[in-house]
């Protein structure tokens, strides 16, 4: 069975699901999924899990991300990006120092309200579906972390920033909130995702190149997950216990979730057993290697 990850360069103009659809036709592999959606107007790194690797998508989605974004001031959009209905709201032109000062207020842990036009579910239905039906939606704020935000260029009405942030951060919301603080209004006009965890844009592959060169050249082993998580080597005896649904005891593990390796192969994700004083671990996800 072929399994692992692909670092795909998603072009703008198509959805993340479109990428999956095209990959299924190219690779003739049915079981696959991406580890974090990019909106149609966005481009850049999209990590795709193949076959057995889909079992650990939830862990890949925890990775921090990096973006290069273009924000347009003076207008607002219903979707917070160029895809929505845009209206002019202000002719105010903040200077460079004003923009820089406002950007710095977003660095660190912040409360962020996701866009109404998003795939987040409310009572089992996607928010954007409810919005399109004209229903009133109240999106709850959540904690996200902006570890770095750098002003690359500013020439009113556009400013370009590089952002490093936690999983779950909406750059569309960040653009909107920057506009609110500046008093000008703003929307996200371009977005490039440059990094997901240790997966970099310079190592990404286009769908066209993948189709020409084949899968083997670009397939990333499932063990790459360990680049962002603590790893532990387990013995044959411990592996047998885990495969039988039993716990193993490891005094040397401090994290709640770790990658378990045996003979240099990722065999599963272990989690600490709660409500016990002993350092017991069990499978959270088993990988059939």
The 3-class SS string of the chain reads CCCEEEEEEECCCCCHHHHHHHHHHHHCCCCEEECCCCCCCEEEEEEEEEHHHHHHHHHHCCCCEEEEEEEEECEEECCCECCCCEEECCCCCCCHHHHHHHHHCCCEEEEECCCCCCCCEECCEEHHHHHHCCCCCCCCCEEEEEEEEEEEEEECCEEEEEEEECCCCCHHHHHHHHHHHHCCCEEEEEEEEEEECCEEHHHCECHHHHHHHCCCCCCECHHHHHHHCCEEECCHHHHHHHHCCCCEECCCCCCCEEEEEECCEEEEEEEECCCCCCCEEEEEEECCC
pLDDT at 32: 94
Q: Do 140 and 88 sit in the same domain of this protein? A: yes
CATH of the domain at 268: 2.30.130.10
Q: Do 120 and 189 sit in the same domain of this protein? A: yes
Residue with tokens 């770790």: 258
Max Cα-Cα span within the chain: 70
Q: Do 70 and 165 sit in the same domain of this protein? A: yes
CATH of the domain at 46: 3.30.2350.10
Q: Residue 18 burial (CB < 10 Å; 0-12/13-18/19+)?
A: middle
* Close Cβ partners of 170 (under 8 Å, ≥ 6 residues apart): 80, 112, 114, 115, 118
**Orientation of helix 171-182 relative to helix 96-104, angle to 10°:** 130
- Phi/psi for 207 (5° steps) reads -60, -35
Residues 68 and 200: their CA atoms lie apart, in Å, by: 13
Q: Do 136 and 104 sit in the same domain of this protein? A: yes
Catalytic residue positions, numbered: 39
CA distances for 56 relative to 4, 5, 140, angstroms: 10, 11, 27
Q: Residue 215 burial (CB < 10 Å; 0-12/13-18/19+)?
A: middle
For 98, the domain range is 65-196
Residue with tokens 């378990």: 260
Q: Do 72 and 186 sit in the same domain of this protein? A: yes
Note whether 7 and 220 are within 8 A (CB).
yes
Q: Do 136 and 32 sit in the same domain of this protein? A: no
Q: Do 72 and 143 sit in the same domain of this protein? A: yes
pLDDT in tens, the chain (289 residues): 688 999 999 999 999 999 999 999 999 999 999 988 898 999 999 999 999 889 888 888 888 999 999 999 999 998 999 988 999 989 999 999 999 999 999 999 999 988 876 565 555 555 555 555 556 666 788 999 999 999 999 999 999 999 999 999 999 999 999 999 999 999 999 999 999 999 999 999 999 999 999 999 999 998 887 777 889 999 999 999 999 999 999 999 988 999 999 998 999 999 999 988 899 999 999 987 5
Q: Do 94 and 136 sit in the same domain of this protein? A: yes
Structure tokens at 125: 């239905």
pLDDT at 22: 96
Q: Do 70 and 100 sit in the same domain of this protein? A: yes
Q: Do 129 and 246 sit in the same domain of this protein? A: no
Residues 56 and 271: their CA atoms lie apart, in Å, by: 13
Note whether 179 and 187 are within 8 A (CB).
yes
pLDDT at 136: 67
Q: Do 10 and 109 sit in the same domain of this protein? A: no
Note whether 9 and 204 are within 8 A (CB).
yes
pLDDT at 129: 55
Q: How far is CA 168 from the centre of its chain?
A: 7
pLDDT at 149: 98
Structural domain count, the chain: 3
pLDDT at 26: 94
Q: Do 40 and 150 sit in the same domain of this protein? A: no
């Amino acid at each position: 069975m072929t399994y692992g990850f692909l670092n795909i360069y998603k072009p703008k103009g198509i959805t993340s699901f479109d990428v999956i659809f095209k990959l299924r036709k190219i690779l003739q592999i049915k079981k696959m999924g991406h580890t974090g959606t990019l909106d149609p107007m966005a481009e850049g790194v999209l990590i795709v899990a193949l076959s057995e690797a889909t079992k650990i998508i939830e862990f890949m989605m925890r990775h921090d991300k990096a973006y290069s974004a273009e924000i347009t001031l003076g207008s607002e959009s219903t979707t917070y990006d160029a895809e929505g209905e845009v209206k002019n709201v202000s002719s105010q032109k903040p200077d460079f120092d004003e923009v820089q000062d406002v950007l710095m207020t977003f660095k660190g842990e912040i409360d962020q309200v996701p866009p109404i036009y998003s795939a987040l579910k409310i009572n089992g239905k996607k928010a954007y579906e409810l919005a399109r039906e004209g229903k009133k939606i109240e999106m709850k704020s959540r904690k996200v972390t902006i570890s770095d935000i750098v002003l690359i260029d500013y020439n009113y009405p556009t400013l370009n920033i590089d952002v490093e942030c936690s999983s779950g951060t909406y750059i569309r919301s960040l653009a909107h909130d920057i506009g609110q603080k500046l008093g000008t209004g703003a929307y996200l006009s371009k977005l490039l995702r440059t990094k997901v965890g240790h997966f970099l844009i310079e190592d990404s592959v286009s769908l066209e190149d993948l189709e020409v060169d084949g899968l083997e050249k670009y397939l990333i082993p499932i063990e790459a997950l360990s680049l962002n998580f603590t790893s532990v080597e387990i013995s044959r005896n411990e592996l047998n216990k885990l495969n039988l649904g039993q716990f193993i005891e490891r005094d040397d593990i401090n994290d709640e979730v770790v990658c378990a390796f045996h003979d240099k192969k990722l065999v599963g994700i272990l989690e600490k057993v709660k409500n016990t004083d002993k350092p017991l671990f069990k499978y959270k996800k088993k990988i059939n290697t």
